[in-house]
Structure 1
Amino acid sequence: MPIQTTDDLAITYADTGPRDGQPVLLIHGWPDDASTWDDVVPALNAAGLRTIVPTLRGFGETRFVRDAPRTGNSAILAMDMIALMDGLGIERFMIAGHDWGSNTAEALAVGWPDRVERMAMLATPPRLGGMPTPPFEQAQRQWYHWFMATERGAKAVRDDHKGFAHIHWVNWSPPGWFDEATFARVARSFENQDWADVTLHSYRARWNEAEPDPRSQWLEDKVKATKTLSLPTMYFQGAVDGVNPPSASTSVPAKFTGPFAFVTLNGVGHFIQREAPDAVARHLIQLFTGNPADLSDTTDRSLIMSKTKPFLAGAAAIAVVAAAIGVASAQTASQTSGRPLTQVAQFDHQATGVAVTADGRRFVNFPRWTDDAPISVAEVMKDGSLKAYPDAKWNSWRNAKSAEMPVGDYFVCVQSIVPDGHGNLWVLDPGAPGNEKILEGAPKLVKVDLATNRVTKVIKVPLNVALQGTYLNDIRFSPDGKTGYITDSGTRGAIIVIDLETGKGFRALDGHGSTQIDKTVKVMTDGKPLVRPDGRQPAFAADGIAISNDGKTLYYQALTGKTLYAIDTALLRDGVSEATRAAGVKTVAQTHVADGLWMSKAGTLYLTSPVTNGITRLVGDHVEPVLTDARLRWPDTFSEGPDGRIYVTASHIQDTNWFKPGAPASLKTELFSFAPAK
């Protein structure tokens, strides 16, 4: 195997394929070695690509050539790779990196954007913007990080390299994925005298338990300062990855503003290119040789061949630690992760909104989208039964009798129900059955006194505010209960501001980019684009909405979008110019497709994530996963109980006959709850 000498290293590498082919740098991860790409390289070479596959510092036959620090942070690994490519005379290249290699690839793209043309990241999310402390569930999966930060843990790693590596091969991918002969061959790479030092430094440095190699500090700082990348990128996610499950990668798409594809591989764990080499090669060829504009998210259901089931071996100390902290199995992680989700109720029709009052009463609403639901707003009684609210008369609208019934006196198509904190439940009725044409005079806000269970006010939203094509989606209230802010998720997004005392209203940020759909976003569910039979995907403008507890900041996001915005509510007063409002719009975070938003009493902003059947929360300038659960099909709308417990509906939008021809008009849906994130 050839060797390229740099200032620090004698790097062993393989260089195969046509010499005039586009160069692709393939970087292995930990605990693995360069042979991880052996079953991928032939297909890439056959596609006309030249592949360079190095062995990282501290692994295999790569050796230090001088008394340099035995460091392993991602930035110094990236500098090693640049030195290798410089030595080979390769100026521009593409990259695929797995695990450590994923973050090394990311650092290369940040540090040398003029040289890195396209990038694939496998199994390990980017660290752009810095690494926040992970949620407890993810920290549990990463127990080995914290173990290596202790002196006793470090000694155990030094004493039994192979045992330490072996337990991760067992835990991170499905049972039977590898045979012991393969592991034994790879484990010879861990006999490198510097493997333990490089390994320990890599994990300690990422959590500031060790300083990065000082020569690479500039690049570490640049990765932390960089929020997004725009080069064509493909991210590979194993659906049953036991260390970085799907819940750990929900924020990945928002970090890439250029052509991007999120590839989910069913039945595959962490060692993606070893477990599914044919699928990986096929997708890499698409990335490296195809048109970047054609990149799209996908779920690969290729069959995976299982090898002989491995036996659990290795250092007893490591095994005991792993068992003690309960390393989650990959199979479990694929179905549910994060905080436990409790089913509160199930319904025979599609529910969207939920409201929980200060005294614990629970309400839900049923829009008339795909069926003529027999009830629009209901109180969920303690025994789980439903009671029409505030009475049967308000709930007696039927589409078949629309010509006979005055639209202002009935709930026509209720989308949202929200308590105002002043003893009232407000019912938001967009007046557009089937989410289609508005019935003239039907859009309205109905105020119900929770003490008397009587309607005390009806505010009709006029046609110059609720335009034809408007869909009144959700509402939040100022702390004094005098102003309502409504998202219009229809054909021209806006924030509708209603004076709840006079009933007058106006459109703000009408047509502004922050309230419109993002045409670059593809809504994905079950690993594939969500489209109607005619090819249309969901196109919902300003949808989710939340207000800070002091009432000074309004948050909102288009459902067909990936950006969370905010504006000072002072700018939403009548008389403020649209130009002034537009100048005051702030980008809060790059997020994901989100339907509902909720600001908890504790000040945490939650977002629903229909793509992952999950919930996320805003932390600083990014979102983190709170939970994922296969039962949570299209998490829709939030509310909060008096004990701080968060309620969320699962509206099953992807299961409607809009997207599944032949599906029944009426769908079973659910109401869930979970304890707030800490």
Structure 2
Amino acid sequence: MPRAVTKDKVSLFYKDWGPRDGSPIVLLHGWPLTSDTFDDLAVALAEDGYRSIVPDRRGFGRSDQPWDGYDYNTFASDVEAVLDDAGVSGNIVVAGFSMGGGEVAKLVARHGNKFSKAILIGSVVPYMLQTDDNPNGVPQSTFDEMTAGMKQDRADFFQSFAKDFYGNGVISHPVSDGVLEDFQRQALMAGLRPTLAAAQAFATTDFRGDLKAFTMPTLVIHGTKDATVPIDATAREVKKAVPEAQLIEYDGSAHGLFATDKQRLTDDIRAFLGTNTSQRSAIPLNQTA
């Protein structure tokens, strides 16, 4: 797989799947995971003829783990470095899950003319932290408890966190034990410093001003029972700020939609992109693009 190098000499792993001349779509993963969470969607889009570009964020997955650079301006610059390395400069669809939505917001605010469509999936945009002017946000005490839990026993913290992430409980089991184990695998690929610093970034960064740049077709998808990124503070606020955006609420779904609602998510994104479902598998898996 290719790697891009940033201005501060950080090496970033990314997947580049599908035909080189296909319309590019960049998929930006959430915290504390890796590009692997988008494998199903990336394969489906590549089969449809899109060029799926899916990086591991700095500090996560197979990318380098520097001490610095865990802020959204740097994250957005990192994505730009990946796109430059891939030779992609325009007519890009940009999609972000969870904290990846913040990178979408910064990229669109910087270079809106490069992006033909934007997709926010369970996204932290526009603002996660509860403040006087953001009453539906998450209290600072919740983030403080998360930080303490990770510092005390990160592996144990993520075992519990994964169940809330996917909505697994005593009665409901939207995902298998294997998916929970894979969450743990991906989460522990990150270093402790990146894990904590990235959490600080998505918890406190205000993207409300960036939404003014969302003039392109925008799709927002969010679960109504998302206990990780509450819908009232995020997706529904995006819809208010960007009335032309298409908001699809997954009734009863938790945060990890790429696993809990895998086929529906793929179908909704393909419909938004205008993909003709009868043309599926334009590139068979046994054929090199």
SS state at 2:40 partner: coil
Equivalent runs, 1:269-288 vs 2, <5 Å:
269-288=254-273
Equivalent runs, 1:245-284 vs 2, <5 Å:
245-248=230-233, 249-256=235-242, 259-284=244-269
CA drift at 1:21:
0.9
CA drift at 1:52:
0.8
Q: Distance in 2 between matches of 1:72 and 1:278?
A: 32
| CA distance 1:187–1:9, shift in 2 (3 Å) | farther
| CA distance 1:256–1:53, shift in 2 (3 Å) | same
SS state at 2:24 partner: strand
Q: Distance in 1 between matches of 2:95 and 2:141?
A: 26
Does structure 1 conserve the Cα–Cα contact (< 8 Å) formed by 2:15 and 2:55? yes
* Alignment partner, residue 121 of structure 2: 122
Give the counterpart of 2:191 among 192, 195, 216: 195
| CA distance 1:163–1:75, shift in 2 (3 Å) | farther
Residue 167 of structure 2 aligns with an amino acid whose one-letter code is P
CA drift at 1:146:
2.3
* Alignment partner, residue 74 of structure 1: 72
* Alignment partner, residue 278 of structure 2: none
What number of residue pairs does the alignment pair up?
267
Q: Distance in 2 between matches of 1:71 and 1:144?
A: 24
Residue 197 of structure 1 aligns with an amino acid whose one-letter code is R
* Alignment partner, residue 6 of structure 1: 6
Residue 38 of structure 2 aligns with an amino acid whose one-letter code is W
Q: Distance in 1 between matches of 2:32 and 2:211?
A: 28
| CA distance 1:124–1:2, shift in 2 (3 Å) | same
Write the deviation string for residues 442-462 of structure 1: whole angstroms up to 9, x where unpaired.
Answer: xxxxxxxxxxxxxxxxxxxxx
Q: Distance in 2 between matches of 1:121 and 1:250?
A: 12
CA drift at 1:233:
0.5
Residue 79 of structure 2 aligns with an amino acid whose one-letter code is M
CA drift at 1:100:
0.9
SS state at 1:262 partner: strand
* Alignment partner, residue 280 of structure 2: none
SS state at 2:82 partner: helix
CA drift at 1:186:
3.7
SS state at 2:89 partner: coil
Q: Distance in 2 between matches of 1:182 and 1:163?
A: 16
Equivalent runs, 1:299-378 vs 2, <5 Å:
none
Q: Distance in 1 between matches of 2:16 and 2:211?
A: 33
* Alignment partner, residue 166 of structure 1: 159
CA drift at 1:62:
0.8
* Alignment partner, residue 219 of structure 2: 234
Does structure 2 conserve the Cα–Cα contact (< 8 Å) formed by 1:173 and 1:240? no
Q: Distance in 1 between matches of 2:202 and 2:51?
A: 32
Residue 188 of structure 2 aligns with an amino acid whose one-letter code is E
TM-score of the two chains, using structure 2 as the length reference:
0.81
Equivalent runs, 1:612-627 vs 2, <5 Å:
none
CA drift at 1:121:
0.4
Q: Distance in 2 between matches of 1:61 and 1:125?
A: 23
SS state at 1:94 partner: strand
From the CA coordinates, give the structure whose radius of gyration is larger.
Answer: 1
* Alignment partner, residue 507 of structure 1: none
Q: Distance in 2 between matches of 1:203 and 1:239?
A: 22
CA drift at 1:95:
1.1
Q: Distance in 2 between matches of 1:267 and 1:148?
A: 24
Does structure 1 conserve the Cα–Cα contact (< 8 Å) formed by 2:223 and 2:250? yes
Does structure 1 conserve the Cα–Cα contact (< 8 Å) formed by 2:123 and 2:229? yes
Q: Percent identity?
A: 22
* Alignment partner, residue 538 of structure 1: none
| CA distance 1:53–1:286, shift in 2 (3 Å) | same
Q: Distance in 2 between matches of 1:103 and 1:230?
A: 16
| CA distance 1:136–1:113, shift in 2 (3 Å) | closer
SS state at 2:272 partner: helix
SS state at 1:4 partner: strand
Write the deviation string for residues 605-627 of structure 1: whole angstroms up to 9, x where unpaired.
Answer: xxxxxxxxxxxxxxxxxxxxxxx
| CA distance 1:239–1:28, shift in 2 (3 Å) | same
CA drift at 1:236:
0.4
Residue 273 of structure 1 aligns with an amino acid whose one-letter code is F
CA drift at 1:97:
0.7
Does structure 2 conserve the Cα–Cα contact (< 8 Å) formed by 1:18 and 1:45? yes
Does structure 2 conserve the Cα–Cα contact (< 8 Å) formed by 1:148 and 1:200? no
Equivalent runs, 1:266-665 vs 2, <5 Å:
266-289=251-274
CA drift at 1:159:
4.6
CA drift at 1:112:
1.4
SS state at 1:172 partner: helix
Q: Which protein has the bigger strand share?
A: 1
Q: Distance in 1 between matches of 2:211 and 2:44?
A: 34
Q: Distance in 1 between matches of 2:95 and 2:220?
A: 10
Write the deviation string for residues 171-212 of structure 1: whole angstroms up to 9, x where unpaired.
Answer: 2333212333333334333334x632122223334566xxxx
TM-score of the two chains, using structure 1 as the length reference:
0.36
SS state at 2:15 partner: strand
Q: Distance in 2 between matches of 1:197 and 1:139?
A: 22
CA drift at 1:289:
3.2
Q: Distance in 1 between matches of 2:158 and 2:73?
A: 23
Moved beyond 6 Å, runs of 4+: 134-137
Does structure 1 conserve the Cα–Cα contact (< 8 Å) formed by 2:129 and 2:138? no
CA drift at 1:281:
1.2
Q: Which protein has the bigger helix share?
A: 2
CA drift at 1:18:
1.7
Q: Distance in 2 between matches of 1:107 and 1:244?
A: 19
Residue 58 of structure 1 aligns with an amino acid whose one-letter code is G
Write the deviation string for residues 562-594 of structure 1: whole angstroms up to 9, x where unpaired.
Answer: xxxxxxxxxxxxxxxxxxxxxxxxxxxxxxxxx
Q: Distance in 2 between matches of 1:55 and 1:250?
A: 28
* Alignment partner, residue 89 of structure 2: 91
| CA distance 1:63–1:253, shift in 2 (3 Å) | same
CA drift at 1:131:
5.9
CA drift at 1:271:
0.5
SS state at 1:70 partner: coil
User: What residue ranges of structure 2 are gaps of 5+ in the alignment?
Assistant: 276-289
* Alignment partner, residue 101 of structure 1: 100
* Alignment partner, residue 36 of structure 1: 37
| CA distance 1:207–1:189, shift in 2 (3 Å) | closer
Q: What root-mean-square deviation, in Å, do the aligned CA atoms of Structure 1 and Structure 2 show?
A: 2.8
| CA distance 1:125–1:189, shift in 2 (3 Å) | closer
| CA distance 1:46–1:86, shift in 2 (3 Å) | same
Q: Distance in 1 between matches of 2:69 and 2:160?
A: 24
Q: Distance in 2 between matches of 1:137 and 1:226?
A: 19
